[in-house]
C-alpha cells in the first residue's frame, strides 16, 4: 500500500443532492472495477478505494475519460486512518446511496487446509473480510441513514460449501453473511438496507490465486453479473434488506 492520501480531491466536487453516490472498496480491478464502470454509465458519482495507488489511479482515470465523477482514495480497509480517509471522501460528496464492501482477502496461495492455515494470515482474512466492512458501515452510517442507502457485502459460495482448502476464506464469508443479516435487522428502522451478494465464480486475479497454475479461462468475466446489478440498482433498499443474492443464479433471491 503506497499511500493513504486522496489522489484527486479536486476531481470530484460536491454533487447536487439529487445525484447518487456509491463507495466501492477493492475497485481497481475485477468485480469492483466492473461495477464501478457500470454505475458510471448510470451517472453515479463514485468513491473508489483499493490498496495500491497506481492501479487505482489508472482505473479512476479510465472512468473519468468516459465522463464519470470519481474520487480515488488509496488505502487498506483494515487500517483505521485509511478508513477515516475513505469516509471523509464520502462526507465531501454529501451523501452515500450505496456502499459496496467488495475488498476481500483470500489468504495464502495455494490454499492450505484449515488446521494448517497460518494464524497471522487467518487473522488478516477476518480483518479484511469481516471487521473492515463492519467498521466502514459504522464510519458511513450517518450518510447512509440520511440517504436511506444500501450496503452490499460481497460474499461467496465458499461461505456455505465447506470446501477443502477454503476454510479460512469461507468461514470469513460465512461470518460476513451473518453480519449482513444482523445489520439488516438492526438498521431496518433507520431505512438503511444491507444485503449479501455472491457474484459466483469469475475470471479474476483472486480466483486465479486460488487455483495457481490452473487454467481458469472457462470462468466468465465479471461483466456476467451486470444484469443482476442493473436489477439491484432499481430496488428499494428496505425491500431487499436482509436477503442473500446469487448474481449468476437463475433466481437471484436466495433464502438466507
| Percent share of the chain, pLDDT over 70 | 91
3-state secondary structure the chain: CCCCCCCCCCCCCCCCCCCCEEEEECCCCHHHHHHHHHHHHCCCEEEEEECCHHHHHHHHHHHHHCCCEEEEEECCCCCHHHHHHHHHHHHHHCCCCEEEECCCCCCCCCCCCHHHCCHHHHHHHHHHHHHHHHHHHHHHHHHHHHHCCEEEEECCCHHHHCCCCCHHHHHHHHHHHHHHHHHHHHHHHHCCEEEEEECCCCCCHHHHHHCCCCCCCCCCCHHHHHHHHHHHHCCCHHHHCCCEEECCCCCCEECC
| Span 132-191, pLDDT tens digits | 999 999 999 999 999 999 999 999 999 999 999 999 999 999 999 999 999 999 999 999
Tens of pLDDT along 22-54? 999 999 999 999 999 999 999 999 999 999 999
pLDDT band at 251 (very low <50, low <70, confident <90, very high): low
Active site residues: 169
pLDDT band at 7 (very low <50, low <70, confident <90, very high): very low
Domains in the chain, CATH or no CATH each: 21-254 (3.40.50.720)
Tens-digit pLDDT profile for residues 81-117: 999 999 999 999 999 999 999 999 999 999 999 999 9
Q: How many CB atoms lie within 10 A of CB 216?
A: 13
Would you state the pLDDT for residue 12? 42
- pLDDT tens for each residue of 186-208: 999 999 999 999 998 888 877 77
Amino acid at each position: 500500500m503506497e499511500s493513504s492520501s486522496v489522489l484527486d480531491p479536486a476531481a470530484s466536487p460536491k454533487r447536487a443532492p439529487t445525484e447518487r453516490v456509491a463507495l466501492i472498496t477493492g475497485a481497481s480491478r475485477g468485480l469492483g472495477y466492473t461495477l464501478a464502470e457500470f454505475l458510471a454509465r448510470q451517472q453515479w458519482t463514485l468513491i473508489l478505494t483499493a490498496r495500491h495507488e497506481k492501479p487505482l489511479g489508472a482505473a479512476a482515470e479510465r472512468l473519468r475519460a468516459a465522463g464519470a465523477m470519481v474520487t480515488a482514495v488509496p488505502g487498506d480497509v483494515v487500517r483505521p486512518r485509511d478508513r477515516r480517509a475513505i469516509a471523509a471522501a464520502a462526507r465531501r460528496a454529501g451523501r452515500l446511496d450505496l456502499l459496496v464492501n467488495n475488498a476481500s482477502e483470500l489468504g495464502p496461495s495455494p490454499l492450505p487446509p484449515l488446521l494448517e492455515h497460518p494464524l497471522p494470515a487467518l487473522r488478516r482474512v477476518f480483518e479484511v473480510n469481516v471487521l473492515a466492512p463492519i467498521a466502514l458501515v459504522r464510519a458511513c452510517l450517518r450518510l447512509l441513514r440520511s440517504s436511506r442507502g444500501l450496503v452490499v457485502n460481497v460474499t461467496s459460495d465458499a461461505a456455505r460449501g465447506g470446501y477443502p482448502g477454503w476454510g479460512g476464506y469461507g468461514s470469513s464469508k460465512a461470518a460476513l453473511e451473518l453480519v449482513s443479516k444482523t445489520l439488516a435487522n438492526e438498521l431496518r428502522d433507520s431505512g438503511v438496507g444491507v444485503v449479501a451478494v455472491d457474484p459466483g465464480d469469475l475470471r479474476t486475479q483472486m480466483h486465479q490465486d486460488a487455483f495457481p497454475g490452473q487454467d481458469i479461462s472457462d470462468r466468465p468475466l465479471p461483466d456476467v453479473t451486470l444484469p443482476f446489478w442493473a436489477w439491484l440498482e432499481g430496488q428499494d433498499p428496505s425491500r431487499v434488506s436482509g436477503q442473500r443474492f446469487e448474481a449468476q443464479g437463475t433466481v437471484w433471491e436466495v433464502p438466507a
